[in-house]
Structure 1
């Protein structure tokens, strides 16, 4: 949900000198289209059924998008952060300081938007709002924006392991979430509980999700206009996703790990354990055994699940970048949606509060997607940046200007 212009490969930013002339490069359609797919995936998991009423197995959309759509959102947010802080050549000095101030402003505003939406959400909400967590994602990413690609990938791998371990280790000392979607009143009444929810105990905990952000920043520092890089993203992502699943298959399904889950949680049957693996925990995994950190599944936020979702996200990004080289114009509905996901996601959540989608979910899913696509294409052609994106970007630029001598603005290049 970071809307920026993509800088030229290798462009060197202003550092401590006067403002440089701004040259906007053509947006990478594949990045926007992948972000649009993530939005459609989030809509599908919010509206469409998770299981087949005849077989009671998971539906295709659940298997494709549950957990993965949110992870792709976060990964692409990291890519956007890389674009807005210098692209392949990270900004330095006061310019990077200004970038950090702008990102701080952006994080606060996105959190406020999320809290405002949560104010009108029912107590048993039709969807879990990611925006409040998104603000924390950005705050945690601020110290790492200047790092080189290898360091970012290394820290992403560390976050994929340390984040889930901390979640399990701190379960018994942190307060449990009291609401699904915290509001301003919750922040004022129980700030510690809300902070724990956003960092560790919620559906989108920032501690493990930092892995997606940092990996995305690393990917955004690569030359994503190169066909070779795009192809490597596709195949490396697929290899990582399959490799993570094989870890689960070998250690849990073939080497006694599943028996350890059963023995450590005698209050859960095999069917209940399988339900957690297929449909996810409510809201977090049991902390009775470290073997739980080897299961996949939506919103389990284990190292295996994170690496699997990172791999699938990288593969999707590589695939759409390759497709955009050939059929970029045909991706317009997705890419236009992807260029204004903050606006469209917010509108989608507000529409869900009417609670009209339960009787005919397929019809309402189609309505949400078609209306979002038509609005995005029309607005994009007429005005460019989405309405909420425009407001947040202007505020972030104002924050950047508070840093004297920074020069330029987010996404500017020589």
Structure 2
């Protein structure tokens, strides 16, 4: 949610010999042409779609039965998470090319600080949110938890994601069935909990916050870790040519997740077990069991019910069941692949969308503040409110990106994390050579590590673009 990603393009002519010295620093000016580099606009375009999907899910709540709201519900957040993993992989790429201990420590320190900033921002946004469940606290914690595997091989990351997609939801169900879920003062189960500042003021609140982040909240680590692991594995690919494979692989994952849930529920009898589990509720409400199942199954806010293991067979959006995790992850990968293909053959048409994705963190915080200021209007005119917020988001991002480049919150996170991480290390085990980048390009072609302005730390996530109004910075 906080990155602008770029990938190196192999140079048409052999690169010049490596420059000697420390990790290069600098920032490219807008419109400055640099041969041999191409912006991976598809990554930002996918993030832009996630921003718009998030706006629909949060603003058009009153139109929850609409097919559009149903389509983006839960999946927009999963797309953000997968793209977050892609960004972490791109951050690690230069260090993987120059895998000295000093380089690794510097990057881990920088990502840890970024995670802390996201946690702080998430806590602040949770205090002003009028309804949206803020994910940033969990996202920051995931940044910390992924530091040990930041430089793991792509295959290991993919295997870990696949295992976690099944084992995480199962372990979550077992632990919640054994120890219960958080309850309010009246003893009612709390659904979709997020961490608030008040949770940090007492030992009981800290325990609640830990349970919310790791197990029972709206975005529990146990079921969200696989999305970032998958994104990290995808980010190890050559994104300039991986679009078709990602579309095919993502489609297969979506079919496996959603098709597998249909098979388990409607062919193998899982729905009968669910109907039996909701029968007491249906009797109390005086409604058919099917309607009770629809009401209860559609209210998943991060976790599935523990009344019967059959809930793990459903693929309800944002439920965290194995089928939901696999299906939503497949959709996210397929969307990324489609955006990469579209950007490859018609990238200029995506300019407003890529600008929106480049300012995702700023727009995320901004739309939460704006939604709180709109009061009850979105409830009475959901689509008018959604259109207003979406148009404001795209227009402001496009204008800001052309005039100033990096978004205000993106600039803050970048600046603080780079400064807190200390002086950038030297590149290469001998502290001299610039590191080659994936795909055969050198850092001069990759651009993120090119030296232009002394005193400014280099971006190490993504790679600078070739021309046009876009800034060549990573978020």
In the superposition, the TM-score normalised over structure 2's length comes to 0.78
Is 1:62 aligned to residue 69 of structure 2?
A: yes
Would the aligned equivalents of 1:7 and 1:87 in 2 still touch at CA under 8 Å?
Answer: no
Task: Summarize the alignment of residues 1-16 of structure 1 with structure 2, pairs less than 5 Å apart.
Answer: 1-8=1-8
Larger Rg, first or second structure (1 or 2): 2
User: What is the aligned counterpart of 2:136 among 122, 131, 140?
Assistant: 131
User: What is the aligned counterpart of 1:272 among 264, 285, 292?
Assistant: 292
The verdict on how the C-alpha distance between 1:79 and 1:88 changes in structure 2, with shifts beyond 3 A counting, is farther
Q: CA deviation at 1:275?
A: 3.1
Would the aligned equivalents of 1:88 and 1:222 in 2 still touch at CA under 8 Å?
Answer: no
Q: Deviations over 1:144-194 (max 9, x none)?
A: 111111100000011111211121112142651657443222222301101
Would the aligned equivalents of 1:232 and 1:318 in 2 still touch at CA under 8 Å?
Answer: yes
Would the aligned equivalents of 1:9 and 1:87 in 2 still touch at CA under 8 Å?
Answer: no
What is the aligned length? 399
Q: Which residue of 2 aligns with 1:231?
A: 244
User: What is the aligned counterpart of 1:369 among 381, 390, 394?
Assistant: 390
Is 1:263 aligned to residue 276 of structure 2?
A: yes
Is 1:32 aligned to residue 82 of structure 2?
A: no
Equivalent-residue separation in structure 1 for 2:302 and 2:75 (angstroms): 16
Equivalent-residue separation in structure 1 for 2:424 and 2:179 (angstroms): 40
Which stretches in structure 1 are left out of the alignment for 5+ residues? 53-57
Would the aligned equivalents of 1:88 and 1:220 in 2 still touch at CA under 8 Å?
Answer: no
Q: Which residue of 1 aligns with 2:255?
A: 242
User: What is the aligned counterpart of 1:119 among 99, 110, 127?
Assistant: 127
The verdict on how the C-alpha distance between 1:275 and 1:175 changes in structure 2, with shifts beyond 3 A counting, is closer
Task: Summarize the alignment of residues 13-412 of structure 1 with structure 2, pairs less than 5 Å apart.
Answer: 18-20=22-24, 25-49=37-61, 51=63, 58-86=65-93, 89=96, 92=99, 93-121=101-129, 125-171=130-176, 172-173=178-179, 176=182, 178=184, 180-189=193-202, 190-226=205-241, 229-268=242-281, 269-277=289-297, 279-282=298-301, 284-354=303-373, 355=375, 356-401=377-422, 409-411=459-461
Equivalent-residue separation in structure 2 for 1:299 and 1:247 (angstroms): 17
Equivalent-residue separation in structure 1 for 2:86 and 2:262 (angstroms): 31
Secondary structure of the structure 2 residue equivalent to 1:267:
helix
The verdict on how the C-alpha distance between 1:205 and 1:9 changes in structure 2, with shifts beyond 3 A counting, is farther
Which stretches in structure 2 are left out of the alignment for 5+ residues? 12-17, 29-36, 185-189, 282-288, 432-457, 465-475
Would the aligned equivalents of 2:9 and 2:38 in 1 still touch at CA under 8 Å?
Answer: no
Would the aligned equivalents of 1:174 and 1:196 in 2 still touch at CA under 8 Å?
Answer: no
Q: CA deviation at 1:324?
A: 0.6
Would the aligned equivalents of 1:82 and 1:90 in 2 still touch at CA under 8 Å?
Answer: no
Q: Which residue of 2 aligns with 1:55?
A: none
Equivalent-residue separation in structure 1 for 2:372 and 2:320 (angstroms): 27
The verdict on how the C-alpha distance between 1:297 and 1:115 changes in structure 2, with shifts beyond 3 A counting, is same
Q: Deviations over 1:271-313 (max 9, x none)?
A: 2222344x34256322122221111011110110011011111
Q: CA deviation at 1:26?
A: 3.7
Q: CA deviation at 1:402?
A: 6.0
Equivalent-residue separation in structure 1 for 2:146 and 2:81 (angstroms): 11
Q: Mean alpha-carbon deviation: is it higher for 214-223 or for 245-254?
A: 245-254
In the superposition, the TM-score normalised over structure 1's length comes to 0.89
The verdict on how the C-alpha distance between 1:292 and 1:158 changes in structure 2, with shifts beyond 3 A counting, is same
Equivalent-residue separation in structure 2 for 1:99 and 1:194 (angstroms): 28
The verdict on how the C-alpha distance between 1:259 and 1:51 changes in structure 2, with shifts beyond 3 A counting, is farther
Would the aligned equivalents of 1:164 and 1:208 in 2 still touch at CA under 8 Å?
Answer: yes
